[in-house]
A and B are shown apart, each in its own frame.
Chain A
Amino acid sequence: MVKRYQKLYLGLMFLFLYAPIFVLIFFSFNQSESMGHWSGFSLKWYRELFRSERIQNAFFYTIVCAIISTTVSTILGTISALGIYKITKKLRELVLNVNYLPIINPDIVTAVSLMILYISIGFQRGFSTMVFAHIMFSTPYVILTVLPRLNTMDPNIIDAATDLGATPLQAVRKVIIPEIMPGIIAGALIAFTMSIDDFVISYFNTANSVTNLSIEIYNMARRGVKPTVNALATLMVAFIILFVFIVNKIGNNHKSKEVLKK
């Protein structure tokens, strides 16, 4: 009985989370250019998507930027969290308070301040500046999700590991990292999400026709976003679901084989 309520709750939650996504998918098959106004089935926006070099380019930049910035900020954030965990209390408070700045600051403030920084040191804005900016605002999120895992970890296990002859590096790799892995994954997911969704910071910190999807979509908004973007969103969702499905399938097969071996 309780189980059923739990399933219902989760189901409603997913309905809430996916309602807008369904709407987007639905209108990607719309004949008319406007959302919210159904005028017949059509695949023309998909055709347009494969023709539009701008959107494809923007998509490419978005994904590459998100992957690089997520990788770097996850590694940087995890390493720093380990360090912050061990530094003196005073310094830790200082670092963490500074760490909050990019999270509190409205995007536009971060964007402008970074832009001024880049210009004053004469760093040519382009793809790399965008990536640096993304690393800058997503690393604090990684640190914030990894630290609680570290704090709830039993500090004795590190000592135990070193006492048993592990080098510090081994202790980190074999003991701490597996222990805080869920935090790292959560941090990476948040970093990826922040990067893929960012508009303002990217806008002010790129130039020379490097754009990302968000920039394209915001500038399109003048006329109502084109269903071409809906089509892209639909494909993205489809790919991710397919990917998750395959990974799960492989994982399951793997597991069942292991069970058989036993």
Chain B
Amino acid sequence: MKKIVCCMIFLVVFITLSSYPVQAEEITTLNVYNWGEYIDEDVIDLFEAAHPNVEVNYETFDSNESMYTKLTMGDANYDVIIPSDYMIERLIKEDRLVELDVTKLTHYNEISNEFLVKSEVFDPNNNYAVPYFWGTVGILYDTTKVDETVDSWSILWDETYKNQIFMYDSQRDSLMVALKLLGKSMNTTDKEDLELAKNKLIEQRPLVYSYVTDSVIQQMISGEAALAVVYSGDAAYIMDENPDMAFAIPQEGTNFWIDSMVIPKTSQNIDLAHEFIDFMCDPDIALRNTEYVMYSSPIESVFNNVITEDWANNIAYNPDGVIDVFGGSIETEVFRDPGDFITEYDKVWSEVLAPKPNYLIPIIIGAIVIVAGSAYYIITKKKKSY
């Protein structure tokens, strides 16, 4: 007994001691919080090499929402975070971000003006966010299975592709597709619009192979289905891995998104955070990063440089039909923070995915439980008399 108690005390002490990070003197840590697989990690090493007294703590998240939970409920002090547009809007609304000092960002003028203009939708006057990557949402299709020209969301409602369609399993993205097909805004707060979109999606449901999120990338690389709704950056990657795939941005318009670097108010190294943001905007660094991640860079020289490369010479990396950026004819919208209205989106999406009622199930379970119970009873009773 004593031994066990000793062991336990030892363990507890060990755990508590090991929880305090040992910090060498004069080393500053910079906590960076980014999407998974969204940076060339060599870039971080380069930053550390350029700043000998800095250690970068790089952490990753898998959705804007989980990032938000950890940021707001937590005691963790991140210095640079890279969320998406609508999440930045929310963070600004809740006064959680530090206003940037643009004079500290020497590479700020390398950023294409179009993206700064576009960012004003969620960040008026560009006070808080510096664009990191951007892109659109479109249809990825297998050219060996789809012969027609893909230029409309309506192909996702085409009976010939029954069980060949991957939809995105996210309320905002899927409703965006239906709303755009109906010619509505993807940020609508009109319940009637949502109702129409819901009916459209319910109509489509029998044709859909599956509603997926991240796994769509692997599935499309192996050619599991003919059509899929994907982010442009992922499309560039899929097309690089599987040359049969092509990408199209529907004429009805689509979502335009920007992931940007921001500094939360809890940051304790605001100056260093600025330096990191500036470093990521350095054309050489941004070039390395975009070549690794394959998402479109907002740095003008990098963008012009990369589109001549094989993997980027396509509409996914370079959506020249998009009106705001390239003067094409396709109108795009940026997702806005819907506030409490998100519950309406969620309600509609839940109704689309809701399982069919099956009253047989409780009856079957009940019957089986009763049979098993009595069998159990009989066996044990028999055993007693045995």
Contacts and interface: CB of A to CB of B under 8 A. Distances in A.
Interface string B217-237: 110011000000000001001
Given A34-B221, A54-B41, A127-B19, 19 more contacts: A33-B241, A34-B222, A37-B222, A54-B58, A68-B14, A68-B15, A75-B7, A125-B75, A207-B70, A207-B75, A208-B57, A209-B58, A216-B36, A219-B35, A219-B36, A219-B62, A220-B36, A223-B214, A223-B237
B18 A219 contact: no
B21 A208 contact: yes
28 contacts: A32-B241, A35-B218, A37-B242, A52-B41, A72-B8, A115-B73, A115-B74, A116-B73, A119-B73, A127-B19, A128-B16, A207-B70, A207-B75, A208-B21, A208-B57, A209-B58, A216-B36, A219-B35, A219-B60, A219-B61, A220-B36, A221-B36, A222-B36, A223-B36, A223-B234, A223-B237, A224-B214, A224-B218
A64 to B, nearest CB: 9
Contact of A131 (B8, B15, B59, B69): B15
Given A72-B11, A75-B8, A218-B36, A223 B75 contact: no
Interface of A: 32-37, 52, 54, 68, 71-72, 75-76, 79, 115-116, 119, 124-129, 131-132, 169, 203-204, 207-209, 211, 215-216, 218-224, 226
B15 A128 contact: yes
Nearest to B34: A219
A220 B74 CA distance: 22
A68 B11 CA distance: 8
A191 to B, nearest CB: 15
Nearest to B231: A222
Contact of B75 (A79, A124, A131): A124
Main secondary structure of the interface of A (DSSP, over half): helix
A177 to B, nearest CB: 11
A225 B215 CA distance: 9
A168 to B, nearest CB: 9
A36 B36 contact: no
Given A128-B18, A218-B62, A79 B4 contact: yes
Contacts of B37: 219-220, 222-223, 226
Interface string B55-83: 00111111000100110011110000000
B31 interface: yes
B1 interface: yes
A221 B212 CA distance: 12
Contacts of A169: 1
A116 B74 CA distance: 9
Contact of B241 (A37, A204, A218, A219): A37
B333 to A, nearest CB: 23
Contacts of B73: 115-116, 119
Nearest to B221: A34
Given A126-B19, A219-B37, A222-B37, A119 B74 contact: yes
Contacts of A226: 37
A169 B4 CA distance: 12
